[in-house]
Amino acid sequence: MRLIRFTLAISILLAVATQAAEACGYTYYYPRCYFMFRVLESGSETADDPFAYNKGAKDNCCEWQRLAGGGVPLGDIYQVVYKMPLERFDSLRTAKSYKGGNRFMRWLRADGGDAAEFLHVAKANEVVRGKRNSPWYYSTMRMGGPMTLDEIVDKSLSQSGRLRDRWLLQAMRAMFTLGQYDRCVQLWEDEVSSLPEDNLMRRMAASYAAGSYYRTGRNEEALRLYAWAGDVWGMFACADEKDKGGFVDELRFVHKYSPNNEYLREELQGYIRRLEPIGDYYWDNTKRDVPDEALQLKSLALQIARDGRVEDQAMWLYAAAFIADLQGNASEASGILARAEKAPASRVVKESVEVMRMYLDAKTMPYDSRYEQHLLAQLRWLDAKVAANLSQRVADKVYNLDSNQSFYYWNDMMRRIVLGEICPRMLDAGKPVRALQLAGMAEFRLVNLLERDGRFTFPAWAGDFRWHNYSNDFFIMADTIELKSLKAYHARLYNPVDAFDTFTNARGKGASYVADIIGTRCLRVMDYATAVQYLGQVSNATKMMLNVEMDRSPFDLGMKRIDGGKDFRLRFAREMLSLQRGMKREADPDTRAKMMVRYATGLRNSFGKCWELTQYYKWLDDTGTDGLHYGYGTFCGGIFWQEGQDKAKALALSDALLRLALATATDDEWKARTLYDFGNFRTVAEEFGDTDAGKRVRSSCDNLVDYHLERDADLHL
């Protein structure tokens, strides 16, 4: 079976039936299941930043950049210092000439002789230390390195000048690996600890000094130094058993000694994200209870936010507000968040607080004109964030839109807030046009941006994103909302009446796409005059992006193949409208009867072998047991056109018209041929035996199994 995609029907879809499980094992979530809590930048924002999760490496490269005069790119420094193996570095350092493009390597060869020698020793130190720290190391093993650790210590201690602090760090690293803890402590106390507090080498050496204190039984000194260095695991190693406990106790302990440690930020995000509802499948809408531990964390967060030593106080208030919302206390959460909005905050937390404010406002504010103006300002800010943080990683992961899986924080938040909170309330407030505008923006803004941006490419299999056009929450809403509301939305696309219209119109799919949905819905309800009106507005570009195509004649009972072209819906609507008018005007009974049969055949086929006229996909296995070509689109959760009332009405009218046509016509030969074509062989044989069709049935009855199985004049296909 082909992979048939679902999208999650959100609670706004009042007319959609219960969703069925997808057969191929793909995971789907509600839009409300996106990760929202964020105090660290996500992968989509840091995809091109080699320092995203290694502040120490960035600080070190910045120090090298300062030494090199400031003009060398950090990326070049990072490649040489952190990524380049010793052997490669030495070959470039000692070559007669260097023609490469790395500007840091050029500087090392031209002006950084002492720096090049230092990096050679530092890299040799890491190679030997790596072998020495291996679990396979034994004391008599030949290390095979360019220098021994003792030689590195001696070499490092003998150096002076501008790199003296760097040489001291290398000496301490080698001493620590050799187990010379007393000597390491002595070097720290005699010289390294006297370096300025903001000296990076002092900070990097502190953990080795603290480890040496710990190994020589000086735990209190070790703990204080680990805390100053920000080494949480060293702090835990020094702690007594009474200081060890659960998650909240760990945070309390770390905060006590190192109130601005990055560990606190990382653990806070990891813990609260585990509380978020991601993982709830679309068939499981059970509300989770917030564990007691989370309530303890909320209390601790409020306490820590009052600590004057804490630089990012807003982070803790934001965490407390988030837990309050998870408890179902949106009003309490809003109050705590108001405090976070005024507290000192990092850039990331300030942005996350603003996102949560938008979310809480969507849950709590009355949906009146004042809120719409407030919302428009919030949308402008969030939309700018979506547009400003694009990357190739975002383009590579855009297929996750289909399942509401988190991959790009800014767009995730637009979808979570708009689809999960605002759209349902807009519908409840009697504002279906606003709901459609917002859903269109949430579904198509990111795809539109990426398609128009020449810097990025989509995965090859993604094609032209037809899967997304007809497998998303906007499409479900547009296909199930009252038709008059969809028409009103379409009119506003052409004639915006306010700034909200103009803003959302520029970020949705466009009038042509909506016109096709309206026209197709009109075909479904047999309103062919309106179908012609809207399908006539569908552009060639939209027709090229349709999920389906038709290659069978809708007015033929057999399997006659045709080239349906891209106008197949419009041509069908025009033909059916012409037949409607002709049946009313035509005076000749036989001609009128033929029109009835052609119209009835078109009705039946538009929900049968030519289902593409009224549908965007067909929920069937494509094993081809009936020989038909099924133009599979994507499967959009909750919409089963084959089981709807529109089909039942169309088939009932088709049957009635066939009976009326047979009662109206005067030509027995035509009646017999028509009955024969529809498989009513018994009626042909019994009532029209003297016709050509009747004679054919009588002479072939032993070969026509349907002759005995026929259901008289019901005229079902």
Domain co-membership, 218 together with 284: no
Distance between CA atoms of 564 and 551, rounded to whole angstroms? 5
Amino acid in the structure at residue 441: M
Residue 510 is assigned to a structural domain of this protein: no
Residue 14: per-residue pLDDT: 23
Residue 707: per-residue pLDDT: 40
CA 442-447-453 angle, 5° bins: 130
pLDDT band for 560, please (50, 70, 90 cuts): confident
Domain co-membership, 292 together with 156: no
Query: Which is more confidently placed, 561 or 532?
Result: 532
Residue 677: per-residue pLDDT: 85
Q: What 3-state DSSP class applies to 79?
A: helix
Q: Among 457, 308, 477, 476, which Cα is nearest to 397's?
A: 457
Distance between CA atoms of 543 and 565, rounded to whole angstroms? 9
Distance between CA atoms of 664 and 681, rounded to whole angstroms? 20
Distance between CA atoms of 608 and 695, rounded to whole angstroms? 30
CA torsion, points 655, 656, 657, 659, in degrees to nearest 10? 90
Last residue of a domain, one of 410, 429, 445: 445
Check pLDDT > 60 for residue 408: yes
Domain co-membership, 226 together with 297: no
Q: Among 304, 322, 287, which Cα is nearest to 248's?
A: 304
Residue 7: per-residue pLDDT: 26
Is residue 535 within 8 A of residue 519, CB to CB? The reply is: yes
pLDDT tens, position by position, 258-276: 999 999 999 999 999 888 8
Query: Which is more confidently placed, 676 or 176?
Result: 176
Residue 713: per-residue pLDDT: 37
pLDDT tens, position by position, 635-675: 455 577 777 789 999 999 999 999 999 999 999 899 898 88
pLDDT band for 84, please (50, 70, 90 cuts): very high
Is residue 616 within 8 A of residue 548, CB to CB? The reply is: yes
Q: What is the mean pLDDT of residues 287-316?
A: 94
CB atoms within 10 A of CB 362: 23
Residue 601 is assigned to a structural domain of this protein: no
Q: Please, what is the average pLDDT of the chain?
A: 85
If you average pLDDT over each of 241-250, 537-546, 585-594, 630-639, which comes out highest? 585-594
| Cα separations in angstroms, 465 against 146, 395, 444, 637 | 56, 12, 11, 18
Domain co-membership, 234 together with 266: no
What is the residue-wise DSSP string for 127-150?
A: HHHHHHTSTT--TT----SSS-HH
Q: Among 309, 319, 500, which Cα is nearest to 422's?
A: 500
Residue 636 is assigned to a structural domain of this protein: no
Domain co-membership, 414 together with 297: yes
Residue 13 is assigned to a structural domain of this protein: no
Distance between CA atoms of 11 and 424, rounded to whole angstroms? 6
Residue 583 is assigned to a structural domain of this protein: no
Domain co-membership, 266 together with 354: yes
When computed from its CA atoms, the radius of gyration of the chain, rounded to whole angstroms, is 36
Q: Residue 296 burial by CB count (10 A; 0-12/13-18/19+): exposed, middle or buried?
A: middle
Residue 134: per-residue pLDDT: 54
CA torsion, points 104, 108, 110, 113, in degrees to nearest 10? 160
CB atoms within 10 A of CB 477: 29
DSSP letter at 233 equals: H
Residue 485 is assigned to a structural domain of this protein: no
Last residue of a domain, one of 410, 445, 480: 445
Of all helices (H) and strands (E), which one includes residue 322? helix 313-326
Q: Residue 464 burial by CB count (10 A; 0-12/13-18/19+): exposed, middle or buried?
A: exposed
Domain co-membership, 220 together with 274: no
Cα-Cα end-to-end distance for the chain: 27
Tokens representing 26 are 């793909």
Q: What is the mean pLDDT of residues 326-339?
A: 96
Is residue 101 within 8 A of residue 79, CB to CB? The reply is: no
Domain co-membership, 71 together with 158: yes
Last residue of a domain, one of 389, 417, 445: 445
Residue 113: per-residue pLDDT: 76
Domain co-membership, 211 together with 290: no
pLDDT tens, position by position, 447-481: 999 988 888 887 765 555 566 788 889 999 999 99
Share of the chain above pLDDT 70, in %: 84
Residue 330 is assigned to a structural domain of this protein: yes
Residue 4: per-residue pLDDT: 24
Domain co-membership, 273 together with 232: no
Distance between CA atoms of 65 and 73, rounded to whole angstroms? 7
Q: Which residue has the tokens 């949905």?
A: 517
Q: What is the mean pLDDT of residues 222-228?
A: 93
Distance between CA atoms of 425 and 435, rounded to whole angstroms? 8
Give the number of domains in the chain: 3
Domain co-membership, 292 together with 340: yes
Q: What residues have CB less than 8 Å from 351, skipping those under 6 apart?
A: 385
Q: Among 550, 605, 582, which Cα is nearest to 661's?
A: 582
Amino acid in the structure at residue 547: N
Q: What 3-state DSSP class applies to 552?
A: strand
Check pLDDT > 70 for residue 47: no
Q: What is the mean pLDDT of residues 570-578?
A: 97
If you average pLDDT over each of 467-471, 576-580, 631-635, which comes out highest? 576-580
Domain co-membership, 336 together with 414: yes
Residue 481 is assigned to a structural domain of this protein: no
Instruction: Give the range of the structural domain holding residue 700, as residue numbers without chain letter.
Output: 667-717
